[in-house]
Structure 1
Amino acid sequence: MPIDDLLIALFLILLLSRLLGETCQRFGWPVVVGEIAAGVLLGPSALGWLTPNPLLANIAELGIILLLFSIGSETSIKRLYHAGSQVLLVALIGIVLPLLFTGLAAFYWLSLPPFAALFYGCALTATSIGISLRVLKDAGQQQQHSSQIILGAAVADDIAGVILLSLLFSFATGAGFAPLPLLKLVLTLLVFLVFAPPLGRLLIYLLRFASGHAHNEGYEAVVMLALICLFAWLAHLAGAPALLGGFSAGLALSRQFVWPWQRYLQNPFAFTNKLEHAMQPLTEVFAPVFFVYVGISIDVSHLQLSGTDLLWLAGIVLLALAGKLLAGLAVQGPWRDKWLVGCAMIPRGEVGLVFAQFGQQLQIISTDIFTGLVLVIAITTLLGPLLLKTLLSHNNHSQKTPQ
């Protein structure tokens, strides 16, 4: 992508995402809906000014890595640990039910071969960790118990997605099922998630010591961005999504960080607070690029749906919604938390799009099935934050209403 094309693309992305995001906020809608809508408007679905390309995809991935860093810095490891059993149950139900519902629908309604139907269902098991957490963060709800369950379940979904994608790739390329490489992948992911945050904490102590000898402005932003890039690279090296590296770096920064050696080392609250504030402007700039790119990746301009096509499309969307909403029933507590978790698990976002593009490249699904699948992903990606925002607004109104 030539530099002039990149510059005008970033101009359009940053300007239009801001305008539509602010407009949505004025109407009480999630900002992320406006940012995705900006991508749809700029992309092949409408104006056609921008198309998916590797450079924009990399910038978008940096945006989601920074967003996950920001969320990780406000996450309590202790709360994640105490919500462990619920997290795993929500994640398991949120994978199994959509796979079962939409996979069978693809097999019977779309007459897909068994493996293609399995792949179709797997693509709709995904949960976009960034989209719902952005809505919760904007609403100031990221510290709630339900938000910790959503975060943990979405991370588990990402790990399961990596494993599923590896399995499907083995079968699609004729390699068959290889248990030892799969076991190695799972163990590597678990080791990374367990040891990366403590390692990041140790590096933060070293950075604080070095900060006393730094004389240039911007030290905190530079070293923290370097640390995030390092951990994202390590996550990718381990076979995990790079965004988990950003999340791990954020956990290391969290003021609620818990580890066995904290009794011997004083918590560097003042320094970590500087690091967090230094990264905030970068996150605000790059995170919208990711959501705009999700919209750019959606191309509905060539869809020619008949009445029957619209019926099966609506049916699959309903099944995709139901599978995630039912996962919220595993949460212990009031119905508010159950619905919050269920709604937050709905958006498929970039994870579902990765699955869909993978299936088309390997010719597991045809072009028309791919387009329909992308449309289902797009609808759930837009409906999820809208439902979540509506639910949060209703709960806030109920709490303010005098009894």
Structure 2
Amino acid sequence: MNYLIALLLMISFAKFFGWVAEKAKCPSVVGEIIGGVILGPSFLHLIRPNDMVTILAQVGVVALMFIAGLTCDVDRLKKYFTPGIMVALLGVIFPVASIYVVCRYFQISIIESSFIGIVFAATSVSISVAVLDEMKELKSSAGVTILAAAVADDIISIVLLSVAVPVLGIGNGHGRSDALFLVLLQIVYFLFVWLCYRIIMIMRSTLEPLHINPGLLGLLFCLLLSGAAEMVKLSGVTGAFFAGLIISQTRMNKKLSVNMRALGGLAIIPIFFVSIGISMNVSSIFANINLFIILTILAIATKFIGAFIGAKVSRFDVKNASEIGAGMISRGEVGVVIAEAGLKSHFISNAHYSTLVAVIVVTTILAPIILKPIVLWKQKAEQ
């Protein structure tokens, strides 16, 4: 299909089904994902996953997390980073352990069961960010903790992925030295982020009077940190979030935030949500229906329980802990990326890969549906 017509269809379906979802009292992102499911190979077969869809989706999620960084309170993020680590740790342990046991029950090999567990360790907080931002909850203690946990969760998941290759001993890995080298590169990346922060803090009094276009500067900086993150096998959304955090410390923050919201909300961010639906093929659900149902239930329940317990240990009340638990459920693009890496490295079979993608998409659709009423319950109680 002509790329411009495909783009027209993706934006139109995103906006229409997002509007329908809002009318049905659901988060608009749910409608946008469902629009992608209808547009893709599951129903209309108009658009299939391809390089164009992948690139546009990647730009969309980077823009979304850049905005999240711009609007995040850095002091509050520091305050809640320790609870975020606790939430991330327990939110990884519960899914990995339980899903491994269930896969072994279905007589899936030890290696494949281990890697499937790692797929569901990841969290795609970008879905939750869209809902929290829509409900003016992104700067709350629970919202900031979810962001902090997402950063920690991304690092933990990538470390698990890096260690899995040499430990399990198959795939495209070349031994423990490669895993160690990758971890060292990731440490260098975080040092680079810190160095960028220090440079911008030193130069901000010089940059601001120069009337540099904040949109251009912010976009270039976001692409730099996102691209560098992916080069060391971290998620690009992590780099985008850090870029937003750093720029938020300058006076360009307010204007850039408004511009990015206008640009992202118009087309780029909805395309990301549509792409998640396009990646799903409903027929794969019925191929392994029992495994699909059990993995979906476990993916939701174990992430919620792990994050909830982590929040309670960090002394959050039940309402905030529930919001944090629901905010960590979505797997989204992060889960798909890890599953695809497992397929390419022969950790995951073709037979199970489609089922995993279906589970990831369904949990991504259900996550905001679960999160919104919990946020409303908390907000009503606070009022």
User: Do both share a fold (TM > 0.5)?
Assistant: yes
Q: Given that residues 198 and 252 in structure 1 are in contact (C-alpha distance below 8 angstroms), is that contact kept between their aligned partners in structure 2?
A: no
1 CA distance for matches of 2:173 and 2:238? 29
1 CA distance for matches of 2:5 and 2:200? 36
Select which of 85, 89, 94 maps to 2:91.
Answer: 94
Name which of structure 1's ranges 66-75 and 370-379 shifts more when overlaid on structure 2.
Answer: 370-379
Q: Which secondary structure state, in structure 2, belongs to the residue aligned with residue 73 of structure 1?
A: helix
C-alpha displacement at 1:151, in angstroms? 0.3
C-alpha displacement at 1:56, in angstroms? 2.0
C-alpha displacement at 1:229, in angstroms? 1.9
C-alpha displacement at 1:91, in angstroms? 0.6
Q: Given that residues 186 and 234 in structure 2 are in contact (C-alpha distance below 8 angstroms), is that contact kept between their aligned partners in structure 1?
A: no
Q: Residue in 2 aligned with 1:17?
A: 14
Select which of 319, 336, 348 maps to 1:365.
Answer: 348
Q: Residue in 1 aligned with 2:184?
A: 184
C-alpha displacement at 1:202, in angstroms? 4.8
1:280/1:205 CA distance change after superposition, 3 Å = farther
1:231/1:366 CA distance change after superposition, 3 Å = closer
2 CA distance for matches of 1:238 and 1:174? 15
C-alpha displacement at 1:364, in angstroms? 2.3
Q: Residue in 2 aligned with 1:114?
A: 110
1 CA distance for matches of 2:359 and 2:200? 38
Q: Given that residues 284 and 355 in structure 2 are in contact (C-alpha distance below 8 angstroms), is that contact kept between their aligned partners in structure 1?
A: no
Select which of 270, 294, 304 maps to 2:276.
Answer: 294
Larger-gyration structure (1/2) = 1
C-alpha displacement at 1:186, in angstroms? 4.0
Select which of 266, 273, 285 maps to 2:254.
Answer: 273
Q: Residue in 1 aligned with 2:316?
A: 333
Which amino acid is the alignment partner of residue 317 of structure 1?
A: T
Which amino acid is the alignment partner of residue 21 of structure 2?
A: C
Pair 1:140 & 2:121 matched: no
Pair 1:35 & 2:32 matched: yes
2 CA distance for matches of 1:58 and 1:169? 27
Q: Given that residues 17 and 34 in structure 2 are in contact (C-alpha distance below 8 angstroms), is that contact kept between their aligned partners in structure 1?
A: yes
Which amino acid is the alignment partner of residue 281 of structure 1?
A: A
1:80/1:227 CA distance change after superposition, 3 Å = same
Q: Given that residues 201 and 253 in structure 1 are in contact (C-alpha distance below 8 angstroms), is that contact kept between their aligned partners in structure 2?
A: no
1 CA distance for matches of 2:185 and 2:150? 19
Q: Residue in 2 aligned with 1:261?
A: none
Q: Residue in 2 aligned with 1:173?
A: 172
When the two structures are superposed, what TM-score results if normalisation uses the length of structure 1?
0.87
C-alpha displacement at 1:356, in angstroms? 1.7
Q: 1:2-401 residue pairs with structure 2 within 5 A?
A: 5-109=2-106, 111-170=107-166, 171=169, 172-173=171-172, 175-178=174-177, 180-202=180-202, 205-211=205-211, 219-254=213-248, 257=249, 268-269=250-251, 271-284=252-265, 285-305=267-287, 309-326=288-305, 327-331=307-311, 332-400=315-383
1 CA distance for matches of 2:382 and 2:79? 26
1 CA distance for matches of 2:154 and 2:303? 15
1 CA distance for matches of 2:151 and 2:331? 13
C-alpha displacement at 1:209, in angstroms? 2.8
Q: Which secondary structure state, in structure 2, belongs to the residue aligned with residue 141 of structure 1?
A: coil
Q: Given that residues 142 and 320 in structure 2 are in contact (C-alpha distance below 8 angstroms), is that contact kept between their aligned partners in structure 1?
A: yes
Identity of aligned residues (%): 30
C-alpha displacement at 1:278, in angstroms? 2.3
Q: Given that residues 71 and 257 in structure 2 are in contact (C-alpha distance below 8 angstroms), is that contact kept between their aligned partners in structure 1?
A: no
- Paired residues in the alignment total 374
Q: Given that residues 70 and 253 in structure 2 are in contact (C-alpha distance below 8 angstroms), is that contact kept between their aligned partners in structure 1?
A: no
- Structure 2 residue runs without a partner (length 5+): none
Name which of structure 1's ranges 38-47 and 388-397 shifts more when overlaid on structure 2.
Answer: 388-397
C-alpha displacement at 1:185, in angstroms? 3.2
Which amino acid is the alignment partner of residue 337 of structure 1?
A: N
Q: Given that residues 196 and 248 in structure 1 are in contact (C-alpha distance below 8 angstroms), is that contact kept between their aligned partners in structure 2?
A: no
CA RMSD of aligned residues (A): 2.1
C-alpha displacement at 1:389, in angstroms? 0.7
1:381/1:22 CA distance change after superposition, 3 Å = same
Q: Given that residues 185 and 239 in structure 1 are in contact (C-alpha distance below 8 angstroms), is that contact kept between their aligned partners in structure 2?
A: no
1:361/1:149 CA distance change after superposition, 3 Å = same
Which amino acid is the alignment partner of residue 240 of structure 1?
A: L
C-alpha displacement at 1:113, in angstroms? 1.1
2 CA distance for matches of 1:192 and 1:99? 31
When the two structures are superposed, what TM-score results if normalisation uses the length of structure 2?
0.91
